Amino acid sequence: MGAIRQSISMTSSRFALCLLGALVTSLNAAPDFIHEVAPILKKHCAECHTESKKKGGLSMNDENSFREGSENGPILHPTHPEKSLLLEVISTDDEDLRMPPKGKGLDDKQVEIIRQWVMAGAKWEPGYALKTPAYEPPLRPRNPTLPVAQGKRSNPIDRIIDHYLAGKKLPRPAPLDDSAFLRRVHLDLVGLLPDVETVRSFTADKSADKRSRLVDKLLADKTAYTDHWLTFWNDHLRNDYAGPGVIENGRKQISGWLYQAIYDNMPYDEFVRQLVAPTAENEGFANGIVWRGTISAAQIPPMQYAQSVGQTFLGINLKCASCHDSFVDRWKLSEAYGLAAIYSDKPLEMFRCDKPTGKTAVAAWLFPELGTVDASLPKDQRLKQLAALITHPQNGRTPRAIVNRLWQRLMGRGIVHPVDAMQSAPWNEDLLDYLAVHLTENHYDLKQTLRLICGSAAYQSKSESFREAPLESNYSYLGPRAKRLTAEEFTDAVWQICGTAPQKIDAPVNRDKAMVARASLMKSDLLMRTLGRPNREQIVTTRPNDLATLEAMDLNNGAILDQRLVQGAKALEARKFTSPTELSTYLWQAALSRNPTPEELKLSLTQLGPAPTAAAIQDLLWGLFMLPEFQIIR
């Protein structure tokens, strides 16, 4: 059987050669691909057409991608090789059309080599790749086999990571002590510092399961959990209580729905379905931001929908493909429009770089392998179909995207980095796939993912420390990465320690009126803005991790923080601590979740004096809040 097939294919290729021979009058010996052709392609084409680069939609990674052609169709003419687009662009005198666009281009000799190669059938060395094709993430879920647990380290995350570290001969990060764990897990799960009583009781508690009980307790604190994760989701769904577009009625909040969904711990698949196929109370996300007047075709509301759904739920960036076939990944203009057309109320005309193409988009979803959206159905039913496909049990990309985001939030860096580029290879495929399967098996309960991560020895390890800014290529896992307090966490911490949180919130949500405000529920102020709270005009899924000089200026002498500290110091003064030592100890425990060292206590007492004034307290507060130990979550 195999032999027969081989002989047929040999015949047909001989036949093709004969045809070529008939067409071309003087056929020189075809140039050698490896030694003559590939070096030219590498030198002149690779920069824009290999690896993840696909300028004009053309990739030359390997033979398949090369033959697939560009946005303008195949670059080899199927029957008349001399008419091939490839030959035209490398030999034209028109500077605007010539390839490569930079430099002098190919010299005559090189053009002739390529021409002869194309005329001879443009044969590639079988299996030869100019560059390894870009990583293509799998679509379907995959349940990896867990490596054997080492000792008592039975958490699946640790089984995978211990195996990874052993394989790479990397050291296991050192374990985290109680107070550091307490501080980190509090901030990560509820966005608040542990209060002084919690610090005391937790460090005194000798029971073996105290850490897992703490995780459970925090996850069960519905209000604190919701107040905290609201920030995460506001960023991902670009929801805010004020912002561009509001004056024009161009955007609609989903705050009430969102708050309740987080509070009820709505299963993530249901959460996604409701946002993809929304009702009046949560349509703000799908509707996007509508600006008055003419806007780019790449920003019409249906296209915003495609971009937002792609980015937030799938970690797919369709922004390139909204305008033209992507140069950097596999997505095509027609696919972005297909997704947009699902949402569009009327037939959607396709534009390429803001110029009409004369084509009308056909509603379709990105992974037809899992099923399709029936373009003939009315919009609400198309959206329901799309919602079902995005949360299809065989769609592994949705759970992978969200577990990666949660991992990044807790561990400081994604398994896939950056988190919105899910087309990139994860540093550990098993880890990502396991977390995704774990989520679906737990009925899309995000708290279960958080619980799993927080319970791992990996999470409960010291964070990586580096002397120079780390390079993200060739990343190896060496422990969690430290994070900076977010604008909201910083604001809450100041309010919490001083007991000065305001009572009234800005967010229109159903929340216990007796509870004090959290920063996530307030409109952004200039301090929060400088500390990295985004405008939420775009989806911003990662906050800046470094303190810029202008932010530092706001912390150093800015009026907003200063007023908070004035107010905070007054409140603390009024609490009548019995002694400056007691006050100092309180502040260290409340701010840093530990006692002051004798040296620190001495400094603090000198600063406060025997009868601390509000001013002295205020300056002590500032000193504590500026400490990297306060602002960086380790």
Partner 1 sequence: MQALPLDPEQPRRDFLKKLSAASIAALMARAPRASAETIIQPKATADACILLWMGGGMAAPETFDPKAYQPFVKGAPVANMLSTFPAIDTSVDNIKICQGLEKIAKVMDRATLIRSAVQPDLGSILHSRHQYHWHTGYVPPQTVAAPHIGAWMAKVLGPRNPVMPAFINIGQRLEGVGESEELKAFTTGGFFGSEFGPMNLPFPKEAMLAVRPPKGMDPGRFSNRRAFFQKLIDRTPHRDLMSDYQEASMLRSLDSAHRLLSAPEAKAFDLGLESKETREAYGDSNFGQGCLLARNLVEKGARFVEVTTEYVPFKNWDTHASGHEVMERMHREIDGPIARLILDLEERKLLDRTLVIVATEFSRDAMIEGVPGSKARDQSTAKSDVLLEPKHYGLHRHFTGGSSVVMFGGGMKKGYVHGSTADERPLIVTKDPVSISDLHATIFTAMGISPKTMYEIEQRPFYATQDGTGVAVKNVFA
Site for partner 1 in 42-81 (CB under 8 A): 47, 52
Smaller CB separation from partner 1, 102 or 443:
102
When the beta carbons of 67 and 102 are compared against partner 1, the nearer one is 102
Q: Three-class SS of residue 62?
A: strand
Nearest to 619 by CA among 579, 584, 582: 584
611 binds partner 1 (CB under 8 A): no
Beta-strand pair 483-484/355-360:
unpaired
Q: Which two tokens stand for residue 562?
A: 């200063």
Choices 78-86, 103-111, 568-576, 595-603; region in contact with partner 1 by CB under 8 A: 595-603
Q: Output the smallest distance, CB 71 to partner 1, in A.
A: 16
Report d(CA 37, CA 77) in Å as an integer. Answer: 18
- Cα gap 148→158, rounded to integer Å: 10
Please, what sign has the CA dihedral across residues 97, 98, 99, 104? negative
> What is the DSSP-derived secondary structure letter of residue 73?
B
Question: Residue 440 has which token pair?
Answer: 């679906």
Residue 102 CB, shortest distance to partner 1, in Å, is 8
Q: Binder to partner 1 among 56, 144, 147, 244 (CB under 8 A)? A: 244
270-289 positions binding partner 1, by CB under 8 A: 289
Judged by CB under 8 A, the chain residues 551 through 570 that form the site for partner 1 are 551-553, 555-559, 562, 566
Size of the site for partner 1 (CB under 8 A): 86
Q: Is the dihedral of CA 124, 129, 134, 136 positive or negative?
A: positive
Measured distance CA(531)–CA(486) in Å, rounded: 7
Q: Does 603 bind partner 1 (CB under 8 A)?
A: yes
**What would the x/- binding string for partner 1 be over residues 486 to 525, using CB under 8 A?**
---------------------------------------x
Q: Which of 96, 599, 610, 611 binds partner 1 (CB under 8 A)?
A: 599
The reply to whether 97 sits near partner 1 by the rule CB under 8 A is no
- Between 36 and 629, CB nearer to partner 1: 629
Q: Are 363 and 105 in contact (CB under 8 A)?
A: no
For residue 125, the tally of other CB atoms under 10 A from its CB is 12
Binding to partner 1, residues 194-223 (CB under 8 A): none
Residue whose CB is less far from partner 1, 396 or 534: 534
215/608 with CB nearer partner 1: 608
Which has the closest alpha carbon to 193: 570, 554, 625? 625
Asked if 10 interacts with partner 1 (CB under 8 A), we say: no
Residue 334 beta carbon to partner 1: minimum distance, rounded to whole angstroms: 19
* CB burial readout 318-356, b (16+ within 10 A) else e: bbbbbbbbbbbbbbbbbbbbbbbbbbbeeebebbbeeee
Which 325-364 positions form the footprint of partner 1 (CB under 8 A)? 328-329
Q: 515 vs 92, 179, 459, 486, 495, CA distance in Å?
A: 72, 26, 31, 21, 13
What is the CB neighbour count within 10 angstroms for residue 3?
A: 7
Q: Establish if 628 lies at the interface with partner 1 (CB under 8 A).
A: yes
Least Å distance between CB 396 and partner 1? Answer: 23
Are the beta carbons of 296 and 269 closer than 8 angstroms? Answer: no
Terminal Cα distance for the chain, rounded:
63
Position 534, amino acid: P
Nearest to partner 1 of 227, 464 (CB atom):
464
Question: In this chain, which of 25, 26, 79, 294 binds partner 1, going by CB under 8 A?
Answer: 294
Cβ atoms of residues 505 and 517 within 8 Å: yes
Q: Where are the beta strands (DSSP E) in 92-142?
A: none
Smallest gap from Cβ 188 to partner 1, in A, equals 17
Tell me whether residue 409 is exposed, middle or buried, using C-beta atoms within 10 angstroms of its C-beta: 0 to 12, 13 to 18, 19 or more: buried
Q: Which of these ranges, 13-21, 24-32, 139-147, 535-543, lies near partner 1 under the rule CB under 8 A?
A: 535-543
Q: Which stretch binds partner 1 (CB under 8 A): 11-19, 182-190, 257-265, 624-632?
A: 624-632
If one asks whether residue 421 binds partner 1 (CB under 8 A), the answer comes out as: yes
- From 153-161, 316-324, 496-504, 514-522, give the range in contact with partner 1 by CB under 8 A: 316-324
Task: State the greatest distance between any 2 C-alpha atoms of the chain, in Å, as a whole number.
Answer: 104
320 binding partner 1? (CB under 8 A): yes
Chain center to CA of 366 = 19
**Do 351 and 80 form a contact (C-beta atoms < 8 A)?**
no
467 DSSP assignment: S
Give the binding range for partner 1 (CB under 8 A) out of 32-40, 70-78, 119-127, 615-623.
Answer: 615-623
Element (H, E) at 632: strand 632-633
**CB 554 to partner 1: min, Å:** 8
Distance CA 104, CA 101 (A): 8
**Minimum CB distance to partner 1 smaller for 238 or for 438:** 238
Q: Quick one: 132 or 597, whose CB is closer to partner 1?
A: 597
The smaller minimum CB distance to partner 1, of residues 261 and 336, is found at 336
Binder among 91, 150, 357, 631 for partner 1 (CB under 8 A): 631
CB of 245 to partner 1, least distance (A): 8
Distance CA 292, CA 289 (A): 10
Closest separation in Å from C-beta 101 to partner 1: 11
Distance CA 225, CA 244 (A): 28
- Tokens 């990586």 map to which residue? 464
For residue 83, the minimal CB distance to partner 1 (Å) is 31
Could you please report the per-residue DSSP string of 275-333?
A: HHS--GGGHHHHH--PPSS---GGGSHHHHHHHHHHHHHH----TTTTTSS-SSSS--H
571 touches partner 1 (CB under 8 A): no
Q: Does position 420 bind partner 1 by CB under 8 A? A: yes
581 binds partner 1 (CB under 8 A): no
**Which member of 156, 243, 284, 315 binds partner 1 (CB under 8 A)?**
243
Using CB under 8 A, which of the segments 221-229, 296-304, 398-406, 444-452 binds partner 1? 296-304
Q: Among 468, 503, 504, 578, indicate the residue that binds partner 1 (CB under 8 A).
A: 468
Q: Does 98 bind partner 1 (CB under 8 A)?
A: no
Nearer to partner 1, 97 or 559 (CB): 559
For the CB of residue 483, give the shortest distance to partner 1 in the complex, in Å: 9
Q: Is 551 helix (H, G, I), strand (E, B) or coil?
A: helix
